[in-house]
Amino acid sequence: MSVPTITLNNQTTIPQLGFGVFQVPPAETAATVATAISVGYRHLDTAQMYGNEEGVGQGIAASGIPREELYVTTKLNNNNHRPDDVRRSFEESFERLGLDYIDLFLIHWPLPTRYDGDYVSTWKAMTELTQDGRLRSVGVSNFHPEHLDRIIDATGVLPAVNQIEAHPYLPNDEVRAASHERGITVEAWSPIAQGKVMDDEVIQRLAQRHGKTPSQVTLRWHIERGDVVFPKSMHEERMRENFEIFDFQLSPDEVEAIRRLDQGEAGRIGPNPETMDWIPS
């Protein structure tokens, strides 16, 4: 199946479906990534925080797929926000991944209660990394509208993407709309709410109607909404299931029925970006 691409605001393109390696053990990452690539995934999403960048690079090398056919994202760890640490840690990520270039580098969390509230200098240092050709695009993750406005107003540089928690129980439409209004592509993390959608009656009914699984219906919902999505599984059968979402469509009414499952803050699974302040030791 052909995965559609989205053109970012810097005119580079990103596959709309990717493969995430959050919580994949480092020792198992290379094999997991190689399997995902063999299934057909060409977009891989990792992070410094995950501790498995090296395995991602090894899996890519083992796959034999040409570098230019792959899209690779990593993210800045929360303990690397100071400009010197941004530059140092990017070098480390670059070495661990072992690639000629990285497609996308994100600030993982804004951390507004840390670093004296200064994530602007972090963003400025991120934008400077694109100058030597080893990094194609920079973006952010978990940024709310006020966070976006602050870095854009200060630097004039738009993030290419904003990766946020988004799923049927937290559609996060306000943040999505704010991102789109600024020309920023949205990526959805935790797209199936860590499996909670599997037992939802609305999604089960739609899955039965389309002859698909609840996971496939939910991932298709993200695609219909125009977001980039990257489910994670270490099992090849589930990887294939998650990849097979381009042979059916949801109607606008079906998309809206899923959106109405919104539980607001009660549906949030991860931390709220306004208060997230964890720094790894």
Q: Residue 5's beta-bridge partner residues? A: 15
Type of residue at 132: D
- Residue range 51-68, pLDDT digits in tens: 999 999 999 999 999 999
How many CB atoms sit inside 10 A of residue 268's CB?
16
SS3 243: helix
What's the angle, vertex CA 103, arms to CA 44 and CA 50, rounded to 5?
Answer: 45
- Give the residue among 202, 197, 185, 203 at the shortest CA–CA distance from 231: 197
What is the crossing angle of helices 236-243 and 26-39, to 10°? 40
Question: Quick one: pLDDT at residue 260?
Answer: 97
Q: Which two tokens stand for residue 201?
A: 């009656």
Distance of CA 85 to the CA centre of its chain: 22
Angle, helices 53-63 vs 83-97, to 10°: value is: 30
Rounded CA-CA distance 15/3 in Å is 6
pLDDT at residue 1, rounded to an integer: 67
Letter for the amino acid at 21? V
- Best CA proximity match to 75, nearest among 96, 100, 93: 93
Number of neighbours of residue 146 by Cβ within 10 angstroms: 11
Instruction: Tell me the pTM.
Output: 0.97
* Catalytic residue (one of 50, 71, 119, 169): 50
Residue stretches of the chain with pLDDT short of 70: 1
Element (H, E) at 175: helix 173-181
How many angstroms separate the Cα of 140 from the Cα of each of 37, 40, 224, 253?
A: 25, 26, 22, 31
d(CA 116, CA 157): 22
What pLDDT is recorded for position 38? 97
Residue 187 forms beta bridges with which residues?
163, 228
pLDDT at 124: 98
CA–CA gap between residue 113 and residue 99 (Å, rounded): 34
| 142 vs 200: CA distance, rounded Å | 26
- Asked if 50 is an active-site residue, the reply is yes
